[in-house]
A and B are shown apart, each in its own frame.
Chain A
Amino acid sequence: MRHSPGRARRFTRALPLTPAVVLILLFLAGPIAYCVYIAFTDLQLTGQAHSSFVGFANFRRAFRDSEFINAVWLTLVFTVLSSLVGQNTLGLALAALMKRASKPVRTITGAVVVTAWVLPEVVAGFLLYAFFRREGTLNAVLDWLHLPRQNWLFTLPVLAVSFANVWRGTAFSMLVYSAALDEIPAEITEAAEVDGAGGWRRMWHVTLPMIRRSIATNLMLNTLQTLSVFGLIWVMTRGGPGNKSQTLPLFMYEQAFQNSMIGYGTAVALLLLLVGSLFSVVYLRLLRTEV
């Protein structure tokens, strides 16, 4: 005797979900909706008696603001360099190498990489600051090798903070890829080996297609996380020198909390959200296409 689930039954089934839905509405959707509202006002943290609705003025201002354009460009450079290229490829390479490594090597490498990941962002920032600064470790090493030294945070700030983000975030990619690689059935790899496929061919034709979904998921999480990196850059360069490493989160912070322009800062935050969702859409499509 089979009934299609009735309305009452559907309701009782949905019931256990209610607390989660309420929580999400309260703590995620609520603040986001409030942010959207604020982005259309000229709200200031201080120095203003009343705020008023200003329509799209904040957004128009952003697109005319050369510092905003600069921040968008730097954000893209930072994200592509550190997340897409750095964390992602390095994470995959480490995972692939660790699969072949002996157990002690695997444990030690894993521990080292994961340590960088679990360190608080600010602590990691200070470590990398100490590494790159003029009297820092990197220059000491260069001196020892008789190579020319320079102030990396001053001459190549974006590269330095990108490196820092790779250093900190690679562990996540490595864990994701280790898991994915472990799930590839051994017989498939063996079959490819029997067919005479070398390491690179196996990687390109067997491994990568099989972990395609993990790649997309990892890229999406990495990108979203990297887009919002703040503490690391703040500690290392504070967006400087000038605006040469001022990514969108730092620009947003400066507008909202140093210049007190909450409305404008929130509008920039929404635009950042937009950049994030554009990336997500691309990855989701990547995830959906069948090979």
Chain B
Amino acid sequence: MPVRPTAALSALLTAALTASALTACGSGSGSSPNTLKVSYKQSTDNSIKVMDTYLAGVKKEFEKKYPGKKVEFVPVKAPDSDYYTKVQQLMRSPRTAPDLVYEDTFLINSDATSGYLKPLDPYLANWPDWQQFLGNAKASARGEDGKTYGVPDGTDTRGLWFDKRVFHKAGLPLDWQPRTWDDILAAARTIKQKVPGVVPLNVYTGKPAGERATMQGMEMLLYGTGDGTSDPLYDSRSKKWIAGSQGFTDSLKFVETVYKEKLGPDVSDALDPNYYTTVVGELMPQGKVGIDLDGSWLPQNWLPGSGRDWPGWSKQLGLAYMPTEHGQAPGKVSMSGGWTWAIPAKAGKPGLAFDFIRTMQTEANAKKWYIANSGIALRKDVAADPSYATAQPGIKFFTDLVSSTHYRPAYPAYPKVSTAIQEAMESVTTGDSSAQKAASAYDSTLKDVTGGQVVQK
């Protein structure tokens, strides 16, 4: 089939033109005053419909309660970082801004600074249920200016998952609870020696793992250094980022030890962008991971209907909280993130949007949601409800961690700081530089990405 090169060229041009025309026109909307537009993150996995099912139920309830009003969903099907980008672009213009968005707590400050979000304080003041939310949950949705920009719908905590099958073979106790970092390393060394063929200790690291490496890896270590009262990343008094801290170097040293002594996964596996999927989908169910420093949401992956059913997980896996560096007070450490429902500053129907939040956050609906998505309750009434605490093994363990958890310093520079942390981790993981050297490289990158807003500690 002879094709003239020019024919191919014009075909390409036509395709390019069509594509740009389509994307440019796709966002136009004929918005009616009675239609509420709600944007949320739809799972990229077609078989997971947890949020869609839940929201459909709320929509039904809402439309019954407010006759004449309609809810229209604008789902965004994308991985986390692309979802943020898409929603930020939607919120930039009144023509495209939805009335309600699902917003990650760590972007609250950044997006509020950009003028994308509406302060919710006047609405919250008249909403009795707001009293039910835990203090640090409320804080996670508060901006630097003291105003609240979102209603959190749950959180997560982190800890150590360990495999009882592996521990049994290694002769380690099945009610394992390390008191210091050295205890963790000691257990990993025992596993390495006695149970060949398994990953003794998995700690996410490096840029390919992204925020997973920063939060489940570095920050779970870093927030367990020092006295546990002040933030080791950001000094809120001087509003500057912290450089040159001993805790940072110590945390990098831990990562270095894990990979240098081959206690962790093979370096090339650890730096594979899809490693998380391998860990939860293959290695853990097969009993090939001794200890995994990871989040409360893991069971989501093994529940019936997830495509990777693992009914035995709650019997085969044990849970231990992450200890502080030397076992100093408060003894345990956890990090929390979570999402909120927020109203864009350019939303057309903010009042109606808040009514939708109220419908989502009745005690019954909130409980339904926490249980459906393996989330951790932030409402005192739900947390105290026995039917919530027993809905899934592990819920109690992770809910109890909420009292000793930390939130990230979610300021506008945070995403860049996070990348700098991943780079430092990666260079000690590959052995390209020592913990000391990687820490000083981080200090200079930190200075660069925060515009010099750095303090030595």
**Residues of A at under 8 Å CB distance from B?**
23-24, 27-28, 31, 44-49, 129, 133-134, 151, 153-155, 172, 175-176, 178-180, 182-183, 213-214, 217-218, 221, 237-242, 254, 257-260
Contacts and interface: CB of A to CB of B under 8 A. Distances in A.
A134 B166 CA distance: 24
A240 B423 CA distance: 11
A contact face: mostly helix, strand, loop, or mixed: helix
Given A27-B21, A28-B20, A47-B113, A153 B272 contact: yes
A144 to B, nearest CB: 21
B271 A259 contact: no
B328 interface: no
Interface string B410-435: 01110110010001001100101000
A133 to B, nearest CB: 7
A45 B268 contact: no
B17 A23 contact: yes
Interface string B386-424: 000000000000000000000000011101100100010
A259 B3 contact: no
Contacts of A239: 207
Given A175-B3, A176-B8, A45 B85 contact: yes
Contacts of B271: 154, 240-241
A48 B451 CA distance: 13
B273 interface: yes
Given A47-B113, A240-B273, A176 B5 contact: yes
Contacts of B324: none
B419 A238 contact: no
A241 B412 contact: no
Given A23-B17, A47-B412, A257-B82, A176 B3 contact: yes
Nearest to B211: A258
A257 B426 CA distance: 21
A242 B273 contact: no
B96 interface: no
Contact of A258 (B208, B411, B415): B415
Nearest to A257: B85
Interface string B3-37: 11110110010000100110010000000000000
A45 B114 CA distance: 8
Given A47-B114, A179-B3, A151 B268 contact: yes
A178 B266 CA distance: 46
A221 B12 contact: yes
Interface residues of B, number: 50
B81 interface: yes
B131 to A, nearest CB: 31
B269 interface: yes
Contacts of A154: 267-268, 271-272
B207 to A, nearest CB: 6
Contact of A259 (B21, B269, B416): B416
B430 to A, nearest CB: 7
A213 to B, nearest CB: 8
A239 B6 CA distance: 34
Contacts of B267: 154
B305 interface: no
Given A49-B113, A153-B272, A241 B5 contact: no
Given A238-B273, A240-B208, A240-B271, 6 more contacts: A134-B269, A155-B268, A214-B5, A239-B207, A257-B82, A260-B412
A175 B268 contact: no
Interface string B78-119: 000110110011000000000000000001011101111000
Contacts of B6: 217
B206 interface: yes
A-B pairs, top 8 by smallest CB distance, nearest first, are A47-B412, A154-B268, A151-B268, A47-B110, A238-B273, A217-B5, A179-B2, A46-B110
Nearest to B107: A46
Given A175-B3, A176-B5, A240-B207, A23 B21 contact: yes
A241 B430 CA distance: 9
